[in-house]
């Protein structure tokens, strides 16, 4: 009997498919790597199993960090297995090639990346001699409930329908490879021209995203605070006091973005107005207008990530992983990796059924309060066909994120927070607008000086009721005045203020900027118009931000994202080389738009790839042909004087150099140090400290010539031979050989600290690390290393001994977070799966059980505890 092989993206999804199909297709038998019955074989990948690579004749093994072999633009791509997933790949290949398997169903995630995962596996499994000749169909799932999975099998898509998406998926992957490999190798070669190794990664989406953050930081650094004054007056009316703010009714917007109608730019003018109005009568005019606000559209992934970051401080990556768990594990949300904020027009009945579930099910904890709003929406007939919610033209391959028909059972606190956000938005979007009465009161003195007071009263909460807002008399805080009443200016407060620079990006605002291809867009409609030209896709934006942090281009401090010196250096380089393609968010957004056009069958794959190849060639040619000594840029002048002559030290592209006491170089003493010692960029504050104290560290993030990371102190030492100061690494005489890769290392004078957890060789002290004897020297066969200093915490040999013997150290208390700069406690443990030393944290103390209480009080207490 012939069978159909179903390939899911993850094992958990394969199990869900088996559970959904069992009632209609019969019981499945479980095997090591698949499930099987008379009709189907069900297995899965674990994400990507293969990666694209240049064919052997185009692949550069040696000298890849030089210009000699660039650009690399192969005519086609080969596939290489990803080492850690080889077993799973081989099992799938065996199943695909089984003679009784005559058809395939792609059940990977419903999107560009899921399409690529399946297509590459299928390509890898195709024999060299010829095609598989096994028809492919596509299972497209928006929800993971059993009913939705069975419905998906009733509506399988043909392979022909999916070819445009497959083309876009391959183009995205190949374009990223071409730009990433060529750009990274070219910029690394350029930055390593003077010796050493300075890994400089660039990417098709990563670099324009970084450009957005760097440009904002440049504005912040260049901002010069300007003094201005505001006037606030208190007025005595018959019914009580109210406050008003001075403004100029004749003011109009101009090119000076810092000017406002309520700002005065000299203290003399502010004092003069204050003196003129104090104690004077004011004539009051008032206008009250009704106003309404509607709920925002349903959530797509980027909007959900932005709001979760603003409300809870969740990173984009955290929000995606929580949403994915609510979709895959709990089955309570629809597919989260979506860029649409609308539902299909035939989903009205589903929306009503979902509201019915929310109204009738016993939702856990604080979620229970949402039931009454769901019941009201049904009772009042709020859920009806409206273009604000149901619009086929605005549904891509996926629709907005909404709750499924499955009620949540056991959610963690953070899962419940995100689920609550989605449910509230789903209900609120159907409720009527909130109605306010907005009052604008003008108090005019001597028919010359104007003060404005605003009041806003919630008249009908509408959709705001879902968020706990109700009509509240406390909102009516504006004391009433009688028609034609004259009030008295009782007091005037002159406030001295300063203009502020633009705010740094948070993940919420950066996601918005990525969505609008560099334009920070708050308006929903405008943002929607730009959505198809965004940087990356909703599914990849979180990974892009995390990648920039991993590569040390950005730091997280609280909720702010701060670009590092390495980021500024990259932007200076790309601008100086005139490789603007890599820094312009709008252009990369345009590529994303073209990929979306390709998905719709409106653009040919060959045309897009030709454009990417041309851009890659231009980028490499610019870097290869640059022959000037420095790169033009906006460079700093240090506050700390030259250690040799006391002159002015200035930054250029590669170095910090003395320019003499004159500052123009005419009397320079020759002192200079490199900006990127050991492949790590100096931050400005660090180089100031280094010149002042003649030492700094230990610092992390250095790289040896072979690319190994290491930690070291830096010392500024006087060298009589050159009659000047120079920079040296200071990690002990015995360890200087750590820089001399490839030379034999003699450990005979040391006692072993224990067996290597990877290869059972001996572990010894070596330089700034504890290393396996087989990870250094002439023949390297192992890569086990761990630092003597980790996040400023010294790791004593006795702790390494304990780590190697027991699998983890004692609790160490002086780690300092790179992100928050705060101390934290952790164990160091060896993770066999990861193959490296990782942090392990103390288990949190459990909460005391709550006493029995009536149901409503218990729910309220639970809500307070979780909040």
pLDDT tens column, 69-116 = 899 999 999 999 998 889 999 999 999 999 999 999 999 988 888 999
Question: pLDDT higher for 422 or 472?
Answer: 422
Is residue 56 predicted with pLDDT exceeding 90? no
Burial class (CB in 10 A: 0-12, 13-18, 19+), 428: buried
Q: How confident is the model at residue 850 (pLDDT cuts 50, 70, 90)?
A: very low
Question: What pLDDT, on the 0 to 100 scale, is given for residue 16?
Answer: 92
Helix and strand numbers (H, E) in the chain are: 21, 31
Which of 22-26, 405-409, 684-688, 846-850 is least confident?
846-850
Question: What pLDDT, on the 0 to 100 scale, is given for residue 8?
Answer: 95
Is residue 631 predicted with pLDDT exceeding 90? no
Question: What pLDDT, on the 0 to 100 scale, is given for residue 844?
Answer: 61
Element holding 303 (H helix, E strand): helix 301-312
Question: What pLDDT, on the 0 to 100 scale, is given for residue 60?
Answer: 78
Catalytic residue status for 335: yes
> Could you tell me which of 454, 430, 425 has the C-alpha nearest to residue 442?
454
For 778-799, what is the mean pLDDT? 85
Angle between helices 538-550 and 206-222 (to 10 degrees): 60
For 747-767, what is the mean pLDDT? 88
Is residue 457 predicted with pLDDT exceeding 70? yes
Predicted model pTM: 0.75
Which of 27-31, 618-622, 708-712 is least confident?
708-712
Question: What pLDDT, on the 0 to 100 scale, is given for residue 863?
Answer: 36
In the set 242, 299, 327, 335, the catalytic residue is 335
Angle at 717 between CA 716 and CA 723, to 5 degrees: 120
Which of 88-97, 178-187, 289-298, 819-828 is least confident?
819-828
Angle between helices 159-191 and 605-625 (to 10 degrees): 0
Question: What pLDDT, on the 0 to 100 scale, is given for residue 734?
Answer: 40
Question: What pLDDT, on the 0 to 100 scale, is given for residue 865?
Answer: 35
Tell me if the bond preceding 698 is cis, omega within 30° of 0: yes
Give CA 32 to chain center in angstroms. Answer: 36
Question: pLDDT higher for 62 or 116?
Answer: 116
Phi, psi torsion values for 739, nearest 5 degrees? -80, -20
Q: How confident is the model at residue 522 (pLDDT cuts 50, 70, 90)?
A: low
Q: What percent of the chain is helix, strand and coil (3-state, nearest 5)? A: 40, 20, 40
The pLDDT tens digits of the residues spanning 193-219 come to: 877 778 899 998 999 999 999 999 999
For 346-361, what is the mean pLDDT? 93
Percent of the chain surpassing pLDDT 70: 92
Question: What pLDDT, on the 0 to 100 scale, is given for residue 69?
Answer: 87
With a CB cutoff of 8 Å and minimum separation 6, the contacts of 857 are: none
Percent of the chain surpassing pLDDT 90: 59
Is residue 741 predicted with pLDDT exceeding 70? no
Q: Which of 340-354, 582-596, 760-774 has the highest mean pLDDT?
A: 340-354
Question: What pLDDT, on the 0 to 100 scale, is given for residue 840?
Answer: 87
The pLDDT tens digits of the residues spanning 832-841 come to: 877 888 888 8
For 673-695, what is the mean pLDDT? 89
Site of tokens 């899921």:
114
Is residue 353 predicted with pLDDT exceeding 60? yes
Which of 400-404, 488-492, 761-765, 858-862 is least confident?
858-862
Is residue 147 predicted with pLDDT exceeding 60? yes
The pLDDT tens digits of the residues spanning 546-595 come to: 999 988 899 888 889 999 989 999 999 999 998 888 888 888 888 888 99
Q: Which of 195-204, 515-524, 702-711, 811-820 has the highest mean pLDDT?
A: 195-204
Average pLDDT, the chain: 88
For 164-172, what is the mean pLDDT? 95
Is residue 707 predicted with pLDDT exceeding 70? no
Contact between 735 and 768 under an 8 Å Cβ cutoff? The reply is yes
């Amino acid at each position: 009997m012939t069978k159909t092989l179903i390939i899911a993206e993850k094992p958990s999804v394969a199990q869900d498919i088996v559970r959904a199909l069992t009632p209609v297709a019969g019981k499945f038998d479980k095997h090591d790597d698949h499930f099987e019955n008379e009709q189907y074989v069900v297995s899965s990948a674990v994400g990507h199993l293969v990666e694209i690579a240049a064919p052997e004749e185009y692949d550069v093994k040696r000298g890849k960090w030089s210009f000699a072999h660039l650009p690399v633009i192969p005519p086609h791509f080969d596939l290489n297995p990803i080492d850690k997933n080889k077993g799973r790949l081989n099992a799938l290949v065996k199943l695909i090639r089984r003679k009784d398997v005559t058809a395939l169903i792609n059940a990977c995630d419903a999107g560009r990346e899921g399409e690529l995962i399946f297509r590459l596996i299928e390509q890898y499994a195709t024999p060299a001699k010829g095609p598989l000749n096994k028809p492919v169909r596509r299972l497209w799932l928006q929800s993971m409930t059993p009913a939705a999975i069975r419905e998906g099998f009733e509506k399988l898509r043909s392979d022909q329908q999916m070819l445009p998406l497959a083309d876009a998926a391959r183009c995205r992957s190949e374009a990223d490879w071409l730009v990433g490999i060529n750009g990274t190798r070219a910029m690394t070669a350029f930055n390593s021209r003077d010796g050493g190794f300075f890994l400089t990664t660039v990417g098709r989406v990563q670099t324009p995203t970084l450009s957005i953050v760097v440009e904002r930081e440049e504005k912040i650094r260049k901002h010069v605070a300007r003094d201005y004054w505001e006037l606030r007056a208190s007025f005595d009316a018959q019914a009580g006091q109210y406050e008003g703010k001075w403004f100029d009714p004749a003011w109009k917007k101009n090119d000076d973005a810092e000017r406002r109608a309520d700002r005065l730019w000299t203290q003399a003018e502010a004092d003069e107005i204050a003196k003129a109005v104090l104690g004077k009568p004011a004539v009051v005019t008032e206008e009250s207008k009704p106003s309404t606000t509607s709920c925002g559209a349903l959530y797509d992934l980027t909007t959900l990530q932005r709001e979760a970051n603003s409300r809870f401080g969740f990173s984009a990556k955290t929000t995606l992983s929580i949403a994915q768990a609510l979709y895959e594990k709990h089955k309570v949300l629809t597919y989260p990796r979506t860029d649409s904020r609308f539902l299909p027009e035939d989903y009205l009945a589903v929306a009503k059924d979902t509201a019915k579930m929310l109204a009738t099910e016993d939702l856990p904890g604080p979620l229970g309060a949402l039931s009454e709003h769901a019941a009201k929406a049904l009772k009042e007939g709020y859920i009806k066909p409206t273009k604000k919610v149901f619009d086929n033209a605005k549904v891509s391959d996926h629709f907005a994120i909404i709750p499924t028909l499955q009620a949540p059972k056991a959610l963690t606190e953070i899962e419940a927070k995100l689920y609550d956000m989605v449910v509230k938005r789903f209900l609120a979007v159907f409720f009527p607008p909130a109605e306010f009465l907005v009052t604008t009161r003008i108090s005019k003195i001597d028919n010359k000086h104007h003060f404005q007071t605003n009041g806003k009263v919630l008249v009908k909460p509408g959709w705001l009721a879902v968020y706990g807002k109700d009509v509240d008399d406390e909102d009516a805080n504006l004391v009433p005045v009688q028609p034609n009443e004259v009030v008295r200016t009782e007091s005037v407060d002159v406030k001295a203020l300063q203009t502020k620079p633009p705010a740094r990006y948070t993940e919420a605002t950066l996601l918005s900027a990525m969505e609008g291809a560099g334009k920070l867009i708050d308006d929903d409609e405008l943002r929607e118009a730009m959505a198809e030209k965004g940087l990356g896709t909703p599914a990849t934006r979180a990974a892009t931000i995390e990648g920039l942090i991993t590569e040390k281009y950005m730091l997280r401090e609280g909720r702010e994202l701060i670009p590092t010196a390495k980021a500024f250096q990259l932007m200076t380089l790309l601008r100086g080389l005139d490789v603007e393609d890599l820094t312009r968010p709008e252009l990369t957004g345009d590529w994303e738009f073209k990929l979306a056009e390709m998905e719709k069958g409106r653009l040919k794959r060959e045309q897009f790839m030709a454009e990417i190849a041309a851009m890659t060639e231009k980028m490499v040619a610019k870097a290869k042909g640059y022959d000037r000594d420095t790169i033009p840029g906006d460079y700093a002048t240090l506050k700390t004087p030259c250690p040799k002559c006391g002159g002015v030290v200035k930054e250029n592209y590669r170095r910090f150099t003395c320019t003499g006491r004159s500052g123009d170089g005419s009397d320079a003493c020759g002192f200079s140090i490199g900006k990127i010692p050991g492949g790590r960029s100096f931050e400005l504050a660090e180089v100031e400290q280094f010149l002042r104290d003649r030492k700094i560290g230990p610092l992390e993030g250095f790289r040896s010539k072979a690319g190994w990371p290491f930690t070291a102190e830096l010392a500024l030492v006087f060298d009589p031979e050159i009659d000047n100061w120079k920079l040296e690494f200071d990690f002990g005489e015995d360890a200087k050989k750590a820089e001399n890769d490839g030379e034999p290392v003699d450990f005979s004078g040391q006692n072993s600290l224990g067996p290597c957890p990877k290869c059972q060789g001996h572990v010894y002290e070596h330089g700034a690390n504890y290393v396996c004897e087989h990870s250094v020297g002439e023949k390297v066969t192992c890569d086990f290393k761990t630092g003597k200093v980790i996040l400023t915490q010294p790791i004593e040999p006795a702790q390494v001994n304990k780590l190697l013997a027991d699998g983890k150290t004692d609790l160490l208390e002086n780690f300092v977070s790179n992100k928050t700069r705060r101390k934290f406690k952790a164990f160091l443990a060896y993770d066999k799966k990861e193959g490296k030393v990782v942090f392990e944290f103390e288990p949190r103390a459990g909460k005391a059980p709550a006493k029995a209480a009536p149901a409503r009080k218990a729910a309220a207490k639970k809500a307070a505890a979780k909040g």
